[in-house]
Chains A and B, each alone.
Chain A
Amino acid sequence: MKKKRAAGVFFSLMLTAGLLAGCGGNQQGGGSSGGNGGGGGDVIKIGANLELSGGVASYGQSIAEGLDLALEEINKEGINGKKLELVKVDNKSEAAEATNGTIKLISQDKVVAIIGSATSTNTLAQVQVANDNKVPLITPTGTNPTITNKDGKVNEFVFRTCFIDPFQGTVAAKFALNDLKVKNAAVLIDSSSDYSKGLAASFKDAFTQGGGKIVAEEAYVAKDTDFRATLTRIKSKNPEFIFLPGYYEEVGLIVKQARELGLNVPIMGGDGWDSPKLVEIAGKDALNNTYITNHYSSGDPDPKIQEFVKAFKAKYNKAPDAFNALGYDTAYFLADAIKRAGSADPVKIKDALAQTKDLQLVSGTLTLNEHHDPVKSAAILEYKDGQQQFKTKVNP
């Protein structure tokens, strides 16, 4: 009896191993048919290293939707007779997984360029690998400045489609001072996130330079659920405005708990708020009187934007958010560079990416500066009864 069971276990293990080996073989076969460097054959392989599960899964999934839509459109004609093929890996919203994913995309899948990740922290974890292997890396939404520039030196192979943190923080500070006319503010940051710290630093600089005063600075770490103690402390300082540059999971809870404690001042954040989950978590009423800076608004009357909104609605049956739009734009940004490079060589693609100028995208006209950062405008949105409303557009 025992022997029989042991044999059963052994054979099922063998079977699994066989299956796995089979899969591995197939994958490698696919890689070699794509040719070394993915240049040969009829497809050009590009990688996407995204947060498809984990803490900020909503970002990664949104970007993936945008990418899929864009590739569908691009592949109707193809680029120089070739089709783009997307290889996705899930980094589970963790920096270590993001590094592994990029190594896998480069060494196993032989992609010519990588799109991702959604957050600054996870993108920063990939920068070194991309630079060392000379494969271009484009983050659709990583806004931390050090992604493309570290200590005054440009990361040659790293690009982005979005604007950078200092710009978002500065826009928020100006909006608070000039439009909301507040004189003092509290800042509450996620101390485990480079993104949050970056936004807060530029907000503080611009806000104090404009004559405002920071009355409280507090911090939390991602995954916390109870913020009442910290919010009580903030409330005792009587701020007129709270700057909260975080991600939607915690932000939703913080806004809800702040309103419960009677903290009814305007609260503002960045693109990290942008997720339908935010409204579910915080509740519609609590979100009134909150503002965000964002890359684009589906309510913007610009025809290029409306065309994209229509195509997106036809495919996914919902309105696109900024992550959808930036994912979509990133695919076009890369496709444009591959077309101009005239080849699927990663180094030539990198050069073409760096020379991008006046490229018309959904999230604005994109021109790269010498730091590999796009120069484009930001939208300010206000939450009213759970809906984002387009408030104004701010140019750099």
Chain B
Amino acid sequence: MELIQQLVNGISLGSIYALIALGYTMVYGIVRLINFAHGDVFMVGSFVGFYAVTMLGVGFVPALLLAMAACAVLGMIIERIAYKPLRNAARIAVLITAIGVSLLIEYVTIYLRGAQPEAYPSTLLPDRNLELFGVVISSQSLFILGTSLVLMVLLQFIVHRTKIGKAMRAVSHDAEAARLMGINVDNTISATFAIGSALAGAAGVIFGIYYTKIEPLMGILPGLKAFVAAVLGGIGIIPGAMVGGLLLGVIESLVSGLGYSLWRDGAAFVILILILIFRPAGLFGKNVREKV
């Protein structure tokens, strides 16, 4: 019974990682950029949702949509200002810029509102506990899992069935060739950032509801964990991010459940190292040989 409860705990934790990892993996898939500011966009989304609820007094759905919209805009601004001028620069320069952007967002937030934590209003979503054979499942965790799945399916649909998705795949394959074929590469990349950041915003609001406490540095650890999840599933692969996130959540819960709660974060990063050594393309990735 304890084991099943731990699995349930792990899946609800993992669905949040999965939701953040979806945006991570998508941006990487299209522009080959590890956007370390993604976790901070998630934080901004959480705060936008919080202020929408407490100041504007709106309900859950409008708050979620507002947060997603604000993050989409933020994502596009970040891309335009920080990443676009570096598009032809060395990979490492862009990576360092991403870290800089991440710190900038964190400390601008602290400057604007202070570092003190904020508590999400608990009335936003009904919170009921279902009890099945001694295992407690909260309605909120089911809801989070549901949202992650819906967003993943939606994302798959956008990438594989729509025009912009086709453009994304083309840009990801070969940006120069795509440009020659008349695809507006800049707009496509902007759209990628908008969608990825909107997902992070949604994750922020959901995180706030589930874990109550939000603060300006809350994006760092979930951001890193989501990165591990994306690598675990195979970075750039959308179902991989989902599975990687869930798997990571379950592993963390089991590690804590065995009495090694202090090793939980360590375990996540050991997984990152192991996967990079033994299967760098991730669980869902195929080994692609570079053409010479």
A residues sitting closer than 8 Å to B (CB atoms) are 53-55, 57-58, 61, 92-93, 191, 218-221, 223-226, 228-230, 232-233, 236, 249, 252-253, 256, 260-262, 277, 280-283
Give the residue name and chain of the A residue nearest to B5 (CB): A232
Give the residue name and chain of the B residue nearest to A280 (CB): B119
Residues of chain B within 8 A of A92, CB atoms compared = 115
Number of inter-chain CB pairs below 8 Å: 90
Segment of B83-91, B186-194, B256-264, B281-289 in the binding face: B256-264
8 residue pairs, one from A and one from B, having the closest CB atoms? A229-B256, A280-B119, A53-B115, A228-B9, A229-B253, A281-B119, A57-B116, A230-B261
Give the residue name and chain of the B residue nearest to A231 (CB): B9
Known: A229-B9, A249-B213. A260 touches B115 (CB 8 A): no
Q: Mark B92-126, 1 if CB is under 8 A from A, else 0.
A: 00000000000000000010001111010010000
Q: B212-262: which residues lie under 8 A (CB-CB) from chain A?
A: 212-213, 215, 218, 221, 252-257, 259, 261-262
Known: A219-B262, A229-B9, A232-B257. A253 touches B252 (CB 8 A): no
Q: A61-B116, A220-B262, A280-B119 are in contact. List 11 more A-B contacts (CB 8 A).
A: A53-B114, A54-B115, A57-B116, A219-B262, A226-B13, A229-B252, A229-B257, A229-B261, A232-B5, A236-B2, A260-B138
Known: A53-B110, A230-B261, A233-B2. A225 touches B9 (CB 8 A): no
B residues sitting closer than 8 Å to A (CB atoms) are 2, 5-6, 9-10, 12-13, 110, 114-117, 119, 122, 127, 129, 131, 136, 138, 211-213, 215, 218, 221, 252-257, 259, 261-262, 264-265
Chain A to chain B contacts (Cβ below 8 Å), 17 pairs: A191-B262, A221-B262, A228-B13, A229-B252, A229-B257, A230-B261, A233-B256, A233-B257, A249-B213, A249-B215, A252-B119, A253-B211, A261-B5, A262-B136, A281-B213, A282-B212, A283-B122
A44 CB to closest chain B CB (Å) equals 30
Expressed in whole angstroms, the Cα–Cα distance for A232 and B257 within the complex equals: 7
Known: A219-B262, A262-B131. A249 touches B117 (CB 8 A): yes
B36 CB to closest chain A CB (Å) equals 18
Give the residue name and chain of the A residue nearest to B115 (CB): A53
A94 CB to closest chain B CB (Å) equals 11
Q: Assess whether A256 is in contact with B2, with CB atoms less than 8 Å apart.
A: no
Give the residue name and chain of the A residue nearest to B221 (CB): A223
Residues of chain A within 8 A of B255, CB atoms compared = 229
Q: Assess whether A226 is in contact with B115, with CB atoms less than 8 Å apart.
A: no
Give the residue name and chain of the A residue nearest to B218 (CB): A225
B189 CB to closest chain A CB (Å) equals 26
Residues of chain A within 8 A of B211, CB atoms compared = 225-226, 253
B113 CB to closest chain A CB (Å) equals 11
B23 CB to closest chain A CB (Å) equals 19
